[in-house]
Amino acid sequence: MEFQNFTILKRDGSRDQFSLDKIMTAIIKAFEAVDESYSIGSISKIISHLDIKDDIKVEDIQNQVEIALMKEGYFSVAKAFMLYRQSHTEDRETLDKLNFLTAYMEAANAATGSKFDANANVEHKNIATLIGELPKSNFIRLNRRLLTDRIKKMYGKELADKYIDLLTHHFIYKNDETSIAPYCASITMYPWLIGGTTGIGGNSTAPTNLKSFCGGFVNMVFIVSSMLSGACATPEFLMYLNYFIGKEYGVDYWQHADKVVDLSLRQRTIDKIITDCFEQIVYSINQPTGARNFQAVFWNVAYYDKYYFESLFGNFYFPDGSQPDWNGLSWLQKRFMKWFNKERTKTVLTFPVETMALLADNGECRDKEWGEFTAEMYAEGHSFFTYMSDNADSLSSCCRLRNEIQDNGFSYTLGAGGVSTGSKSVLTVNLNRCVQYAVNKGMDYKQYLEEVIDLCHKVQLAYNENLKDLQEHGMLPLFDAGYINMSRQYLTIGVNGLVEAAEFMGLEITANDKYKEFVQGVLSIVEKLNKQYRTKDVLFNCEMIPAENVGVKHAKWDREDGYFVPRDCYNSYFYVVEDESLNIVDKFKLHGAPYIEHLTGGSALHMNLEEHLSKAQYQQLLKIAANEGCNYFTFNIPNTICNECGCIDKRYLHECPKCHSKNVDYMTRIIGYLKRVSNFSQARQEEASRRYYAGPKKMTV
């Protein structure tokens, strides 16, 4: 064949000019390796079999060389060429690892040094984090092979090739490819309550008292989290803790919490024993753990108003036949929130991520007491999420992901109910690239999106079959033991780059009809296909993903390939995060019912404020959220941390109020969880610096 100026696609995704000399040199080395004679004519005849075209992959050229050698009868040379390829592959991989090791050691922090999934939850860079990083590329290759093999079996090679093409060209992104475990889960603790951790590979028995509950709970969360790649939510945590406190000190313990019940020299009150339990559990779980690459467990808890709680747990029974006591739980929830808020002025405590679940009716919180308490805690500087709904229809299994509850009835023997939910896998669509690609090619972008999203559903079904295969071979004890219900966990279609796609289309990112129609038009495609592919055993939802890592990657990749990229990190919101023109109410509108109606997997409004508001102002914002249908939100005011004296202040300050040093850091939400800004990756630190924090003048209500 005649060789022209072709470009080839290298292993790292970059392009280079095709070099015939390199191919000839490799073939000659293979002949020489087995002492077989050759001539320019024989080499030319081998090369004549090659079919080279623009953007051909290096691996495809090498595959053709092997076939050409065998066609010409040079079987021993073909074998030598294969061995030559293998040795060079191993050399490249070793060199890549060495280069990564050097770059990681020199990186400013662990998140910046991570090549694949930068994570601010990894606070320290050390040998343990390095050991966790090194095998990630191998996990990605393994996961892709497992998935494409299953796709070929279910849908054929063409779809498998299309998936890899969309993946490698960044139209879609497979979240958590560096782990083989399912994503996140909101678990039921009932199997542990009746059987300890033996069902999931542990050796502890069921808790029998307050002390064994606290120690056993920590162990259980560590075991469960080691089998998940994302968050572990324990929505029953405080309900169970209240049960064991009641068994120890009486159901009415909260009415005499100042009573001394400790016969030791410490003479502790009931309240002090309870806060000691809080301390044991929270500080233990915030420690980095080897099973999570030296990062703390992503642990989430929920608080409930009376109506939400009764809707979820009204039919719940403990093993002794008793039901949860709302009065004690209500007191305990408030005590935990007060304690945790104060404890965060002593040290950086990221977990648990807290969600307040409130039922609303006609723009008001149904439970007035808990509506007022929610506003009170925000006014006191506490940082937590609020989920508002007109019915108890969902739970959060991570710092953003919303899971609809299919059935809140509980099984007495297994405890299986609505809390046993979560997401098995997240596959994200880069909306900005997809929309621009279609428009630039003269295609209907909605039709193109539907093709991509349809493929995503098939890929997720293939993943689900692999997961079922793991379960059949006893590899997923969380499912077998009843902590998670396979049919209640979702396959999630994530979206990223929505705002950027709208900007490309020339739309103004405000609460206007054209932008709303664009949002609804795009997200309704996902929901339509979610319903189409849904069965009694397979559920789909759609989430605006947090995109801590991939939001930066999408912007970088899209810019490199010549797409319109208005910022260095794609937003996880319905508004432009650096936009100073929007007021607080505007942002609630943009995360209101018309915009989020198709996001069955959730999105969270992060209301960035310069300073804390009053209780009355927060109560007003709760009403606005309820009226606008904004169901998931938090208020984000950076806390100031002094790097000199260690003082932590809930306010956003430029110098330490204690020692007056200007050497300060800030604790804020990178996405859904609180961390020092200095722990963010470099790209995310730059993004954080561009965020707009609204002042009192933007409080237009």
Does 385 or 55 have the greater pLDDT score? 385
CB 491 within 8 A of CB 460: yes
Report whether 201 contacts 223 (CB < 8 A): yes
* pLDDT tens sequence across 444-502: 999 999 999 999 999 999 999 999 999 999 999 999 999 998 888 899 999 999 999 99
**Mean pLDDT across 159-178:** 95
What is the chain's alpha carbon radius of gyration, rounded to the nearest angstrom? 28
pLDDT at residue 391, rounded to an integer: 78
Answer yes or no: are the C-beta atoms of 569 and 683 closer than 8 Å. yes
- The 3-class secondary structure across 420-484, one letter per residue, is CEEEEEEEEEEHHHHHHHHHHCCCCHHHHHHHHHHHHHHHHHHHHHHHHHHHHCCCCHHHHCCCC
* AA identity, residue 206: A
Region 137-153 average pLDDT: 94
User: Is residue 375 a contact partner of residue 615, using CB atoms and an 8 Å limit?
Assistant: yes
pLDDT class of 407 with cuts at 50, 70, 90: very low
Cβ–Cβ contacts within 10 Å for residue 413, how many? 11
Q: What percentage of the chain has pLDDT greater than the value 70?
A: 93
Do residues 436 and 401 make contact, with C-beta atoms less than 8 angstroms apart? Answer: no
Residue 402 has pLDDT above 80, yes or no: no
Average pLDDT over the chain, rounded to an integer: 90
Confidence tier at 4 by pLDDT (50, 70, 90): low
Residue 469's pLDDT is what? 97
Task: State how beta strands 353-361 and 385-389 pair.
Answer: parallel
| Residues 320-332 pLDDT 10s | 999 999 999 999 9
519 vs 102, more confident = 519
Least confident of 131-140, 253-262, 295-304: 131-140
Cβ 648 vs Cβ 347: under 8 Å: yes
Gap between the Cα atoms of 545 and 624, Å rounded: 24
Looking at per-residue pLDDT, the higher value among 252 and 10 belongs to: 252
pLDDT recorded at residue 162:
97
> What one-character-per-residue DSSP string does 154-215 give?
HH-HHHHHHHHHHHHTTSEEETTTT--S--EEE---HHHHHHTTGGGT-------SHHHHHH
- pLDDT tens for residues 579-595? 999 999 999 999 999 99
Q: Which strands form 639-642's sheet, in the order they lie side by side?
A: 648-649, 639-642, 664-669, 674-676
- Residue ranges per structural domain of the chain: 7-99, 103-169, 200-404
- Spatial separation of the C-alpha atoms in residues 428 and 453, rounded to whole Å: 9
Distance CA 490, CA 404 (A): 9
Residue type for 601, please? Answer: G
Tell the residue number behind the tokens 């909605």, with chain if given: 446
Q: Given this model, what pLDDT does residue 430 score?
A: 98
Structure tokens of 410?
């509980």
Q: At residue 99, does pLDDT exceed 90?
A: no
Listing DSSP states for 37-93 in one string gives ---HHHHHHHHTT----TTEEHHHHHHHHHHHHHHTT-HHHHHHHHHHHHHHHHHHH
In eight-state DSSP terms, residue 265 is: T
pLDDT tens readout for residues 603-637: 899 999 999 999 999 999 999 999 999 999 999 99
663-700 burial by CB neighbour count: b if 16+ within 10 A, else e? ebbbbbbbbbbbbbbbbbbebbbebbeeebbbeeebbe
Confidence band for 214, pLDDT divided at 50, 70 and 90? very high
Measured in Å, how far apart are the chain's first and last C-alpha atoms?
Answer: 73
At 434 the pLDDT is 98
Using one digit for the tens of pLDDT, what is the confidence trace for 285-299? Answer: 999 876 667 888 999
Within a 13 Å sphere around the CA of 26, how many CA atoms are in the beta-carbon half?
24
Which of 92-106, 344-358, 497-511, 547-561 comes out lowest in average pLDDT? Answer: 92-106
Cα distance between residue 182 and residue 225, in whole Å: 10
- What angle do helix axes 270-285 and 326-343 make, rounded to 10 degrees? 60
For the entire predicted model, the pTM comes to 0.86
pLDDT score of 408: 41
Cβ-based neighbour number of residue 56 at 10 Å: 17
> Who's near 78: CB < 8 A, 6+ residues apart?
30, 66, 69, 70
| Cα angle value 439/443/448 (rounded, 5°) | 95
The model's pLDDT over 224-249, given as tens digits with 9 standing for 90+, comes to 999 999 889 999 999 999 999 999 99
Lowest-confidence region among 143-147, 186-190, 419-423, 433-437: 419-423
Give residue 8's pLDDT.
Answer: 84
Going by C-alpha positions, the residue among 491, 512, 467, 426 that lies closest to residue 172 is: 426
